Structure 1
Amino acid sequence: MTATTPTPATTPTPSATPSKKTFEPTRARRVWLEVAVVVSVFLAGLVLFVVNFGLSVDSGADDTTLRFAGLFFLDILLGLLAVGLVTLRRLAPLTIGILLAVIAAASSFAVPAALLALVSLATRRRTRDIAIAIVVWLVSGAAAALLGIDLIGLPLTPVDLVLTLVIVALLLSVAVTIGVSIGSRRALVASLQERAILVEEEQRLREDAARDHERARIAREKHDSLAHRLSLTAMHASALRYRDDLDAAERASVVENVHDNARASLGELRDILAVVRAPGSTDPDHPQPTLDDLEALIATATTATPVDTRVAVDTATLHPTVSRHAYRIVQECLTNARRHAPGMPVTLTIDGVVDDRIFLTVRNPLPADTRTRTHAQPPTPGFGLIGIDERVRSVHGTLDLTPGPDEFRVEVSLPWPISA
């Protein structure tokens, strides 16, 4: 029998469009992550500002002049402004990236925030925007160096300017590379997520199609049973119409048969779904097989799969509808066993309490290769088991599946109403 693990029928999964699963963090977590990023940028900018201040003083900057004090406080103010603007990097990535690039040219405190904005811009992988941001970085940095907008106050020599621009270009290349790699990973995750959703949706549609097919099959079987009952009703009614030699007892018996078949036909009619018979079907008035035909089914199955049948209860009073479903369930189980565990013995047990419930148990050991696959990867539901689930639910029964590891077992409990 198949080694797949379907959804238990006792708590069936409704057919509904699956909710879109995302790998994004929750809103609260995103807020905390953003807070952590802003704090990190602030601390990195503060460290860089202190280092730049120390190097400037060691390099001969006069920290007693009004110019030095003005650039000192300007660096701090621009840095704090950059930390605030970096929180808007996702709303207007190019604008924020350009603005912070200009600010970073005049403020060492703002450099980490500007680099983060450039990384965020690069995650979008738009070559034109990245090129514009890099050009602004280099031009504004060169202008600041030539104008001497720093704590030292001396313009750089051409050689030092070229060396500085090369270092800045390398730093920007690293930032862009990081951003592009992050963007590529996000795109890959989004693609895999979308593919998983499509696969899930396709599986759901296939399961729905299998369920619809099984419902149509059930409805056709009920249609056949109804046609059979109506034929019997018509036959007995004809006897009443054309037979004038019947005594009172015989006439009462015929009327009783007509009455019983008419009531049973009404019950069958209530269960019929709005489907048509499949093209090419034959013998429309022939009743569908029931557990009374189990011996023929077992005899056919035994030619390919040894079946040990243990029937501990008389099913003569079982309602025809339940008996048909029980027959089809056993048939599907034997088919699955023949397909997925060829040659393995199958044990069929039928037990129950008359006028209460009937219990069907079909089990078979799993082949060695199937056991290995079952342990390695959880299987997905098979359409045959979905059909069994539909039959069980259609008569308000229960289904319990045990997919291993050593054997596959199907346990079905069906109601046992008195036969009509």
Structure 2
Amino acid sequence: MKKKQIAFIEMETHSALLEQWYLLLKDMTFVEYHFFVSKKVNDKLTSIPQYKISEIPFVDGVDFSGFDAVVVNTMHRNFEQYQRLLQDKPVLCLIHNLNFSLFFETISWKNVLEEKQRFTYFLKLYIKEKVASRRKIILGAKQLGVLSHSLLEEIKGKSSLSGKTQVIQLNYCHHFSFNTSNTIQIVIPGNVSNKRKDINLLFDLLPQLQPQEKLHFTFLGKPENHKISKQLEFLKENCHQNITLSYFDRFIPWEEYSGRIAEAHLLLCPVKKETSFYWVDEVYGKTKVSGSEGDCIYNGKIGLFPTTYPKMDWHNWYYENGDSLRTILNTLTFEHLESEYRKLEPFVEKYAFEKVKKRVETQLIKLTEI
């Protein structure tokens, strides 16, 4: 079979997801690929070779005639630039926010009040860029993709578009080991922000803990603002003697990010039930996927999630509220963790690299045949 030429476009935010694509693509037999990205995305890429990347200011005007198909990694702005491409090529668009990008929910005015610091930015999107009306351009894509089965089930219940929507499973288990250090390493992945995580719950809880074992908490993301940085500094000095803590004050490159998670015993993921995107309400696990799902699978780690987050196809732990989370962390032991990691082994096999790569390669080849 002749190799299929596929272009990947990312002009906005999901640089880490682009790196996941690359790790699968580079070992595919029948797919050749090239990435077209904005400067801000390119500045965050660390593992993709530069000869596989073209930095572009706009999508409209780029010649994609030499490609059999195109994957749009994110389409949340500048929709009109994609209109001709959607007409001319088999295009797969990934959907990250179902209410904004597929169900076309309207603005929640509660979100407008809560996100006052970004008011001017969002107003520009709605008035100047007309995202509310132009977002429907995405329906011109030949295929739509979501990153979890829970989102696909939500589409099946609400939209007639389930027939052209499929799960694109980019997560495979790259690393599976149990850290033998004498301190239990607990990592909170992603930006330190109250918008998508219940960071306040952790800030209230950590000074109250009296754990049996030594615990080290790593906040593996950039703090949202100076106030959160000050709270992290406060925690460093005001927790039990068995607790230590570290955090970052910068963007963390993807390879360093994954390396830190690889050392963890547990990923603490205080994902909020509800969030928003461009002032539109979204529900984690139903209309929006948490990146913590991929962090768990790629690094072979048990995640600790609130019970409000839908159960993944993976072995995780769950807490109901602050009291149950406190109990879990206070009684956490190496022996318990080791026994729980044995339960992960069947899932590690299910998400083996070769299995995931072949499935995605088949999906890409079928896209070129539309």
User: Structure 2-normalised TM-score?
Assistant: 0.21
Query: Which has the larger share of strand?
Result: 2
Query: Which has the larger share of helix?
Result: 1
